[in-house]
Amino acid sequence: MNESLNEYPHRHPDDHPHEHQILNPATEEVIATVPAATPGDVAAAVARATEAQRGWAALAPADRARLLRRFAAVVDGRIEELAALEVREAGHPIGNARWEAGNVRDLLDYAAGGAERLSGAQIPVAGGLNVTFHEPLGVVAVIAPWNFPMPIAAWGTAPALAAGNAVVLKPAETTPLTALRLAELALEAGLPEGLLQVLPGAGPVAGAALVEHPGVAKVVFTGSTAVGKQIMATCAAGVKRVTLELGGKSPNIVFADADIERAAASAPGSFLDNTGQDCCARSRILVQASVYDRFMELLAPAVTSFAVGDPADPATAMGPLISAAQRERVRSYVPEDAPAAIRGDAPQGKGFWYPATVLEATGPGDRAAVEEIFGPVAVVLPFEDEADAVRLANATDYGLSGSIWTRDVGRAVRVSRAVAAGNLSVNSHSSVRYATPFGGYKQSGLGRELGPDALAAFTETKNVFISTEEQ
Ligand code: NAI
Ligand code: MG
């Protein structure tokens, strides 16, 4: 077990600032100052949410669906505004940011369709009629990270609302602006006051208060494994429902029989997209020994030509890291003198820039080969045969995603079944779609989000038996 999975910050509320300065990570300019919620603010928000939820759950399912579709339509009309905000506060390239805002719209539309389809079952039993109901949980807390502030806020929020719950959302300290704007757009769309509240604040203060609050029925958390474990422990005290989406160290497995050109051309995007700050980043590249040299030869130009620069420029593929702290974290895995196999460029001067870096692992136990780096850094390891590839792929406490490159269909299926991870792709690096389930094995998480069953995770199943005996 590595240290970063165990660390957990225990701090007193007074140690945290009462407001957060939001920086543009590409320029280090302060773009906003946002007040940090106190435990008192959290309690007041949960009280308002409890009230709003009663009215919301009492609406006809078709009316909830209509309001959520209206919310989706309002978001659709603000894609450019939301994307521009994401470029400024998170440094995401504008093309990615537009996709992220569109993803919020799609999540709301997809969840809205579920509100009227939350059917229970009629189960044959003797002596009466037996039916099940999927009832809302009440108030759901969504604790979102900074790496995909908009989509991940909506992954929890959209299905929770569609299933009849209220949501209190705590965005990450560094990226509250898009979430705050989404809450305003919800009101503009006609969602009731108090139904979706966004409370920016410090994780160990506002986040912890929300998790502990007895009025919160479920916590949806995306972030570090260390904090996820602490949240799960806190939830245990109240037997609260919890969904955890934690880190990853996902393999990209390239077999000798694959289309090596395509595998090499697509590999950079799989660990450089979002500057590697992606829980699904394919940051361990496992290459069959017989094609290792050829793959590395093709990978080098693909990595160095990945366009790094101004996130507002549509030609940019990779922006800066989110913060100085994250850059220090990433740097700690790549000492100045580390012999990088491939290193790209990065702008000099202001901004939390870090170059694309590919390391050749010194061994499978190498810290950079085992821990989540959450930056534009991948490690390459050779393997001998299929059994060796599966063993290496599974030699991690994580199990979120992975890619398998091969032209052999039988092998693609065998390896997909053998890798202990929630989201695998063959001859592709796709992992997240709003219509398909997403989540981790092992310490990558607990529960599933998205997909056709997303609403069910925000309900209790109630069984009712009605006697048909004559009264
Ligand atoms: P973090 O886990 O501290 O932050 C994620 C969210 O949890 C933020 O909203 C934060 O305010 C909140 N939080 C922090 N402490 C809390 C507490 N005690 N109670 C309730 N909420 C709390 O992650 P951090 O420190 O920003 O990033 C560290 C590393 O975690 C990254 O380098 C990466 O490896 C991993 N990470 C993984 C993510 C994923 O997508 N699975 C997302 C963010 C981080
Ligand atoms: Mg933290």
Q: Write down the pLDDT at residue 12.
A: 60
Predicted confidence band of residue 364 (pLDDT cuts 50, 70, 90): low
Q: Write down the pLDDT at residue 262.
A: 98
Q: Write down the pLDDT at residue 13.
A: 58
50 with 157, same domain: the answer is: yes
Q: Is the CB of 439 under 6 A from ligand 1?
A: no
CATH of residue 238? 3.40.605.10
Residue 267 CA to ligand 1 center (angstroms) comes to 26
Residue 224 CA to ligand 2 center (angstroms) comes to 7
CA distance 373 to 133: 43
**Domain contains 471:** no
**Domain contains 3:** no
- Per the structure, the count of domains in the chain is 2
Query: Are the beta carbons of 170 and 39 closer than 8 angstroms?
Result: no
387 with 342, same domain: the answer is: yes
CA distance 379 to 296: 12
Q: Is the CB of 458 under 6 A from ligand 1?
A: no
Write the DSSP symbol of residue 37: P
180 with 277, same domain: the answer is: no
**Domain contains 196:** yes
CA distance 409 to 154: 35
68 with 176, same domain: the answer is: yes
76 with 197, same domain: the answer is: yes
Q: Is the CB of 207 under 6 A from ligand 1?
A: yes
Burial 199-226 (b: 16+ CB within 10 A, else e): bbbbbbbbbbbbbbbebbbbbbbbbbbb
- Tell me what the mean pLDDT of segment 246-273 comes to: 98
Asked whether the predicted pLDDT for residue 7 surpasses 50, the reply is no
191 with 308, same domain: the answer is: no
**Domain contains 155:** yes
Query: Are the beta carbons of 168 and 153 closer than 8 angstroms?
Result: no
Query: Are the beta carbons of 424 and 248 closer than 8 angstroms?
Result: no
Domain encompassing residue 299? 251-433
Asked whether the predicted pLDDT for residue 122 surpasses 60, the reply is yes
Quick check: pTM over 0.75? yes
Residue 227 CA to ligand 2 center (angstroms) comes to 7
CATH of residue 336? 3.40.309.10
Q: What is the pLDDT of residues 372-407, one digit of tens each?
A: 999 999 999 999 999 999 999 999 999 999 999 999
- Active site amino acids: 245
Query: What residue type is 420 in one-letter code?
Result: A
